[in-house]
Amino acid sequence: MEKHCTDSRVKGVSTGTTILAAVFDGGVVIGSDSRASVGEEYVSSKTINKVIQVHDRIFCCIAGSLADAQAITKAAKFHLSFHSVQMESPPRVMAAASVLRDLCYKNREELQAGFMTAGWDKKNGPQVYVVALGGMLINQLVTIAGSGSTYIYGYIDAKYKPNMTKEECLQFATNALALAMGRDNASGGVAHLVVVTEKGVEHVVVPGDKLPKFHDE
């Protein structure tokens, strides 16, 4: 009689995405694709907005477990709202990134999520921070993450310039997301982009059929 052996180990859930944030002259652009997937085979949603507003001029992008990321950003919003009431002024971008770092570090054994935080404040202007798995915090001019990011490191290194205009940075971010979404089967949908400057916040959505194409698909 044939015997079937079952592996008792539970296979980990891997998720895919492409997220990006970049500083330009006077502001920041932060963006992502919109596909939520389970592993690399099942697309659970095509319309997830991974760019989350945690305060008026501060946004974060999420990568990893969506449930973990949503729980952390919800807690971060509460902390930053309370902080702004106490200080009687909007929180700094660094403060928001530090809140996310502390939440990630305190729950590092249970979480499978990383973040990038971008925004503008009166003291330091436009800023981008990366909060990696485990709670490491890094300040960068441009950063990418997610499964799709592995396809565009060369493009980012070759094309990014810190003194770009808003229009140039938007095109740079759109091109980068389009390249990643064209190669990574765990990234896709539309490109969600947010521009944050001293003047305010601008939301830009680029539909999948309007994204630039660099190869035959």
Neighbours of 42 (CB within 10 A): 8
Average pLDDT over residues 75-85: 92
Residue 15 has pLDDT above 90, yes or no: no
Q: In what order do the strands lie in the sheet with 125-131?
A: 51-55, 58-64, 113-121, 125-131, 137-139
User: Which pLDDT tens digit goes with each residue over 142-200?
Assistant: 999 988 999 999 999 999 998 999 999 999 999 999 999 999 888 889 999 999 999 99
Q: What is the pTM of this model?
A: 0.86
DSSP letter for 198, please. T
Amino acid 1: pLDDT? 43
Measured in degrees and rounded to the nearest 5, phi and psi for residue 201 equal -120, 135
In 3D space, the residue among 211, 67, 103 whose CA is nearest the CA of residue 148 turns out to be 211
Measured in degrees and rounded to the nearest 5, phi and psi for residue 142 equal -145, 145
Amino acid 110: pLDDT? 82
Say if domain 15-208 classifies as CATH 3.60.20.10: yes
In 3D space, the residue among 53, 48, 85, 82 whose CA is nearest the CA of residue 67 turns out to be 48
**Residues in CB range of 147: below 8 A, 6 or more apart:** 15, 16, 17, 18, 40, 184, 186, 187
The residues annotated with a catalytic role in the active site are 17
Residue 63 has pLDDT above 90, yes or no: no
Q: Where are the domains of the chain?
A: 15-208
- Cβ contact 195:170 at 8 Å: yes
Residue 38 has pLDDT above 80, yes or no: no
Amino acid 13: pLDDT? 43
Measured in degrees and rounded to the nearest 5, phi and psi for residue 146 equal 95, 170
Between 38 and 154, name the one with better pLDDT.
Answer: 154
β-bridge mates for residue 51, sequence order: 61
Lowest-pLDDT choice from 59-68, 73-82, 140-149, 187-196: 59-68
* Strand ranges, E, within 10-57: 19-24, 27-32, 36-38, 42-45, 51-55
